[in-house]
Amino acid sequence: MTDAESRQPAPRPSVGVLFKCCNVYSRIYANHNQSAYAGHCPRCSARIEVPISKSGGSNSRFLSGS
């Protein structure tokens, strides 16, 4: 491993979302305090927030939202 490879930041946690409002797929990323995935539809800017739970959550990496 080279020095440049070892300095790469860790990838941000994300989930894929199909926004039903505009039938478009996008990723949303974990917020700074890792309490929720937050983002918006790339076409109409509809906001979405998905809480991150330590227990009782879903293992799915793809969601659909309105």
Q: What pLDDT, on a 0 to 100 scale, did the predictor assign at position 3?
A: 63
Q: Is 7 helix (H, G, I), strand (E, B) or coil?
A: coil
E-state strands within 1-66: 14-19, 24-30, 36-40, 47-51, 62-65
Is residue 19 situated within a structural domain?
Answer: yes
Is residue 38 situated within a structural domain?
Answer: yes
CB-based burial label for 28 (10 Å; 0-12, 13-18, 19+): buried
Give 43's contacts (C-beta < 8 A, 6+ positions apart): 19, 21, 22, 24
Is residue 59 situated within a structural domain?
Answer: yes
Q: What pLDDT, on a 0 to 100 scale, did the predictor assign at position 48?
A: 94
Is residue 7 situated within a structural domain?
Answer: no
The pTM score is 0.72
- The C-alpha atoms of residue 54 and residue 14 are separated, in whole angstroms, by 16
Is residue 9 situated within a structural domain?
Answer: no
- Which domain, by its residues, includes 44? 14-65
Is residue 47 situated within a structural domain?
Answer: yes
Q: What pLDDT, on a 0 to 100 scale, did the predictor assign at position 43?
A: 97
Is residue 51 situated within a structural domain?
Answer: yes
Q: Average pLDDT for consecutive 10-residue bins of the chain (66 residues)?
A: 71 92 95 94 95 77 71
Is residue 40 situated within a structural domain?
Answer: yes
Instruction: Please give the tally of structural domains in the chain.
Output: 1
